[in-house]
Amino acid sequence: MLTLPEKLLFALAVLTSAIFTWRGVRRIIDIIGKGRGKPDWHLIPKRLLSTIAKTLTLKPTWRLRFGASLLHAFVVWGFTYYLLVNLGDVLSAYIPNFHFFGSGVLGGIYRLLADILSVGVLIGMSSLLARRFIVRPRVLTHAEDTMLHPKARKGIARDSAIVGVFILLHVGSHFLGESFLLAQSGHPDPWQPIASAVASLWTGLAPNSLNIMVHIAFWMALGLILAFMPYFPYSKHIHLFFAPLNFLLKPQRRSIGELSALDFEDESIEQFGASTLTDLGWEQIMDAYACIMCNRCTEVCPANTTGKVLSPAALEINKRYYLNYDLGNNPAPLIEFAISEEALWACTACGACVDICPVGNEPMRDILDIRRGMVLMENNFPEQWQTAFRGMERTANPWNIPPTERMKWAEGLHVPTIAENPNPEYLWWVGCAPATDVRAQKTARAFAEILNHAGLDYAVLGEAETCSGDSARRAGNEYLFYELAQGNVATFNEIQPKRIITTCPHCLHTIKNEYPVFGGEYEVVHHTQLINKLMGEGKLKLNVASRELKANHHPPSTFNIPPSTITFHDPCYLGRQNDIIEEPRQALKDLSVNLIEMPRHGAKSFCCGAGGAQMWKEEEHGSESVNANRFREAAATQADILAVGCPFCMVMMTDAAKNAGSGMQVQDIAEIIAAQLAK
C-alpha cells in the first residue's frame, strides 16, 4: 500500500522513535535498579499463567467502580488486540495484496474482532474522558491539603488527556482507514459489519480521493504510535507494562500486611528504614511507574475517608513526578516530597490500599518503611507513642501492666499454664489486650469458658507471655519489635507448641506471618476459627442448637434466646490480611440469628481506627474519627449486636457506640457464644 518513499520514511521514523523510547526505558531500569534488593526471577514460571489471566481478565479492577471498570475493560481489551492489528497494518503496508491471517474464516474472525473491539475502545475512551473532564467525580480529585507534587496538580489531567486523545485518534484512524479500504473495494465485508456501514458514507468519492484517505489514515494510526512511544515512559500509560511485572515479580509474601525484617546484626548497614527513594525496595520504586493514578487506594483509605491528609495515591504519584522531573545526584528526603509527617502518622496499616490496588502497588509498605526511618534514624515520632514504647520495653505490654498481674483476668476460672500442662494440644496466646484491658478481659474469660466446656487440651504462658510486637513494628520501632519477636520465638521453640490460638488478629498475623523469618514456623488459628470448628464438631452444647433447629423446623422462639440480629465487623488483620472471613460468620449463623452484613465487609471491611499503632495516640485532625464512621455504618443495619473478633476493634467500637449514644451492644464472638453455652 505504501509507496517506496513512504516505506523508507516509515522505517526511519521507527528507528528514531525506538532510539528515543529506549532512552526513557533505560533511565527507568537504572532508577529501579537503585532500590534495595533484587527481583527473584524464579517467581516467573510459578506466576506466569496467573499473571496472564489476571492481566487479560482485569480481575483486580472489578471489585470497585464497576461502570468505570467496564469502560476501562473495553479500552484495554481493544488496545491489547491492537498489538495484532498494528502488526497487520504494517505488513499490509509493505507487502502487496497481503491479508493478515488470510482471506478465509481465520482472517474473517480476526477482522470481526478488530471491528467490534475498535468500536469498544472508542466508546470506552470517550466515556472515560467525559467522566474525567465533564463529570469530574470527587474520587478522581485530590484535596487541597494533600501533599501533591506541584506539576501533578495539572499534570495528571494533562497526561490523561494526552493518553485518551492518542488512543481515540490511533484506533479511530485505523477504523476509518478500514472503512476507506472497503469503500475503495466497492464491496462490504460481512466480517466487518460496523466498518462496512461507515464505508457506505464514502460512496461517490473518487478512487484517488479514497486512496489518499487510506494513506492519511495509516500515517495517523501508525505515526501516532511512533510519536507517542518516546512519551510512553513518562506517562501513566506505562502501567500497561509495569502492572504485569508487579504481578510477576513482587516478593513472595504470606499476607499483604507482612513486613520484611531489618538485619540489626549487620554492622555495615547505616540506614534503617527509608529516608530517601533509594532506601526503598526496587519493587517499591517500581510501584511509582505501575500506578495508574486511579485513586482507588485513596478512596478506601480510612484516614482519607475521614478527612485526614493521607492519600496513598498521592504518595505514589509524588514518587513518579519526583523521578520524572526532580531526581538529581542528591535525593531529597521522602518526607519532603512524597508524604507529609501528618499523613505519615495517620495511616492505620489496615492494608485496604494494598488490597484494592488493581496493579499490585503497596503504598502502605512505603509508609511503614518511612516510619521506620523516622523512628530509628531520627527518633521522631508522636509523643503519645512514648508511653506504649516504654510499656513494651519495661513490662512487655503497651498497657504498662506488670507481668505479675498478667493472669488476674483468669481469677475464678480453671486456666492451666504451660508449667501445669507442658505439652498441650493448643497453646493459647492470650495477648496483651485480653490479659490487661478491662473490657477485653471479658473476651478472654468467655473464651476460657468455651475451651473448658469443650474439654480442650490447652495451656497459656501466663506471666511468661509478652507483647507480640505488632504495635511497635507498625509504629516504626522495628528494633523494639525485633527484641520482642526474638524473645517470643525462643519461648515458642522451647515449648514447641502443636498449635497456637490467638484472640487478637494482630497477634495472629504477627506470629503466623512475621515470626517465620526469626526462626518460628507455627500453625496459628484465630479463636473464631476454633470456635467454628468446635461447633461444627458438636463439642459445644448450646441453648440454640442450629442443626436440631434445621432438622425439626422449630422456630427460634422455642429456645432460650430471643430472636436477635447481629452484624459482624471484620477486623482488618483477620479478614483482609489473613482471609479469615467465613469462619466467624458461620459460628454466628450456627446460633440461628439473623446476620446482617454491612456494605463494607469481608476483604472490603472498613477499619476501626486502632491499627498501625493508632490505638496508643490521638487521631490526626480530620472531619470525623475512623471508629465513628465505621460505627455509623454498623448502626444503620439496626442490628441488636455488633459482633467483633479483635480486642482493638472492641475498644474502638465500644467507644464509638458510647459517643453516639447508641444502645447497640458490642460483643466479641466468644462472648456471644459463651452466653449460649448449655449450663
> Does residue 263 sit within a domain?
no
> Which residues in the chain show pLDDT less than 70?
544-563
Whether 522 and 615 map to the same domain: the answer is yes
Handedness of CA 133, 139, 144, 146 (dihedral sign): negative
**How many domains, in total, are found in the chain?**
3
Give how far the C-alpha of residue 389 lies from the chain's centroid of Cα atoms, to the nearest Å: 28
**End residue of a domain, out of 325, 358, 378:** 378
Q: Would you say 107 and 99 are in contact if contact means Cβ atoms under 8 Å apart?
A: yes
Whether 356 and 212 map to the same domain: the answer is no
> Does residue 203 sit within a domain?
yes
Whether 299 and 353 map to the same domain: the answer is yes
pLDDT of residue 1: 79
Whether 652 and 509 map to the same domain: the answer is yes
Whether 566 and 662 map to the same domain: the answer is yes
pLDDT of residue 493: 97
Residue with cell 474520587: 139
- Owning domain of residue 291: 273-378
**CATH code, domain with 357:** 1.10.1060.10
pLDDT, tens digit (0-9, with 9 covering 90-100), for 5-21: 999 999 999 999 999 99
**End residue of a domain, out of 320, 348, 378:** 378
Contact partners, residue 215, CB within 8 Å, separation at least 6: 1, 2, 6
**End residue of a domain, out of 348, 378, 408:** 378
pLDDT, tens digit (0-9, with 9 covering 90-100), for 609-638: 999 999 999 999 999 999 999 999 999 999
Q: How many C-beta neighbours within 10 Å does residue 426 have?
A: 19
> Does residue 564 sit within a domain?
yes
pLDDT of residue 266: 87
Whether 229 and 284 map to the same domain: the answer is no
> Does residue 145 sit within a domain?
no
> Does residue 260 sit within a domain?
no
Whether 396 and 367 map to the same domain: the answer is no
Whether 521 and 399 map to the same domain: the answer is yes
Whether 437 and 516 map to the same domain: the answer is yes
> Does residue 508 sit within a domain?
yes
Whether 123 and 207 map to the same domain: the answer is yes
Give how far the C-alpha of residue 206 lies from the chain's centroid of Cα atoms, to the nearest Å: 57
Give how far the C-alpha of residue 210 lies from the chain's centroid of Cα atoms, to the nearest Å: 51
- Laid out side by side, the sheet with 594-595 consists of 594-595, 565-568, 641-644, 665-668
pLDDT of residue 544: 53
> Does residue 256 sit within a domain?
no
Whether 401 and 496 map to the same domain: the answer is yes
pLDDT of residue 390: 96
> Does residue 253 sit within a domain?
no
Whether 345 and 395 map to the same domain: the answer is no
